[in-house]
Structure 1
Amino acid sequence: MDINFWGFSLAKYSEQFKLDVVQQYLAGDMGFKAIANQRGLCNSMVRLWVRLYEAHGEAGLKRRSATYSAAQKLAVLQHMWARELSYKQTAAAFDIRSPGHISNWERCYHSGGIDALRPRQRGRPKTMPDSQSPKPPLPVDDDTRTREELLAEVSHLRMENAYLKKLDALVQTQQKQRAIARKKRK
């Protein structure tokens, strides 16, 4: 949903409906409140649509989602500072739907410079590396290996075997405990 800085949803109504409301107001027959009552709207929403139309034409009534580069954000801030404009005036000048964006940009710029204005990567960071893990070395023929290498492998295999036996015993103990607990519940 497209929420602007006045807190209204601009996406709820079609562009044609908004344009009809604005043209009805600009015809001069009725005021904001009368049009709002007739159309079942809030009078401040009618006022908002008229202001957007006056500032940007029909494009001001269209649903809009924009992304800005760091250079564009900096240019907006410099324009605002040079002309001593408010956030709302700057937003109107650059057709930025939310003046809150400009205040965020200014705060980021003052705290971290131009780098803080660059878009950040969104979402959760990757937990897995991009590259595959290195492949294990090809097995070497037992005849070419030294006695120490063979003894190290035997020791490693014995430890692995002992670990698996203990794991199996632990799993069997837990299964027995669950079975006893089930019998007690019945």
Structure 2
Amino acid sequence: MAKYDERFKLKLVRQYLAGPDGFKAIAAQYGVGYKLVQRWVASYRQHGQDGLRKKRNPYSTEFKLSVLLRMWREGLSGEQTAALFDIRSPGCIGVWERRYHSGGIDALSPRPRGRPKTMPQAIPPKSPAEPVADDERPRKELLKEIEYLRAEVAYLKKLDALVQAKKAAQQKKRK
């Protein structure tokens, strides 16, 4: 659900267009940000009442690129460009621009939203009924396990030394 419905936006826009009140006065009267009222008025002037309706369609890569090219060509700000192309969130134009500069046109393509549809295939666990003897395992695997176990022992020794040092420091503080 949108925070502000279309009727509310239209009411504020018409009040701005009809009277001497400015963006800040109207925004303060209704408890909204003046930039928001300014954006609604610009969108209304450019697209009429349709400019105040909620949009749900994602933007294509070609559309994003055409928006950026026109903005650069005509030297428009992000807000002016958003009003011109009926983009409800002018901040996304800056995001598109940064993505384009960092990754080119491929960075503008829509990304999949949400979690992946399927879980990755898990590696089946080895059955405990068939333990592999150490002499049957490859030498590289055994060396890797030895290296891991040595690192684990060294880590635990270091952790124990830190705990002992902390206890000793607390003992000194108490005295």
TM-score by length of 1: 0.54
1:35 and 1:43 in contact (8 A); partners too = no
Q: Which of 85, 90, 99 is matched with 1:94 structurally? A: 85
**Gapped runs of 5+ residues in structure 1?**
2-10, 130-158, 164-186
Which ranges in structure 2 are unaligned for 5 or more consecutive residues? 122-127, 133-175
| Aligned equivalents of 2:131, 2:77: Cα separation in 1 | 73
Describe the superposition over 1:36-65 as per-residue Cα deviations: whole angstroms up to 9, x where unpaired.
56x633471544433332222111221223
Secondary structure of 1:73's partner? helix
Mapping for residues 108-147 of structure 1, pairs under 5 Å: 108-125=99-116, 126-128=118-120
Which residue number in structure 2 is paired with residue 160 of structure 1? 129
**Equivalent residue in structure 2 for 1:40, among 10, 25, 30:** 30
The CA deviation at 1:95 is: 1.0
Aligned mates of 2:70, 2:17 — CA distance in 1: 31
Secondary structure at the counterpart of residue 16 of structure 1: helix
Q: Which amino acid aligns with 1:31?
A: D
**Contact 2:16 2:26 (8 Å CA) reproduced:** yes
The residue type equivalent to 2:119 in the other structure is T
Aligned residues: 123
TM-score scaled by length of structure 2: 0.57
Provide the rounded CA distance (Å) in 1 between the counterparts of 2:52 and 2:83: 13
Question: 1:162: how far off?
Answer: 8.5
Cα 1:105–1:162 shift into 2, 3 Å: closer
Query: What is the alpha-carbon distance in structure 2 between the residues aligned to residue 109 and residue 84 of structure 1?
Result: 17
Query: Residue 31 of structure 1 corresponds to which residue in structure 2?
Result: 21
Paired amino acid for 1:160: A
Q: Deviations over 1:110-137 (max 9, x none)?
A: 22111111112223333335xxxxxxxx
> Structure 2 matches for 1:51-62, cutoff 5 A?
51-62=42-53
Structure 2 counterpart of 1:75, one-letter code: S
- Name the % identity: 54
DSSP-derived class of the 2:114 partner? coil
1:68 aligned to 2:37? Answer: no
Q: Secondary structure at the match of 2:44?
A: helix
Letter in 2 for 1:90: T
Larger Rg belongs to: 1
**Aligned residue in 2 for 1:154:** none
Partner of 1:81: 72
Letter in 1 for 2:120: M
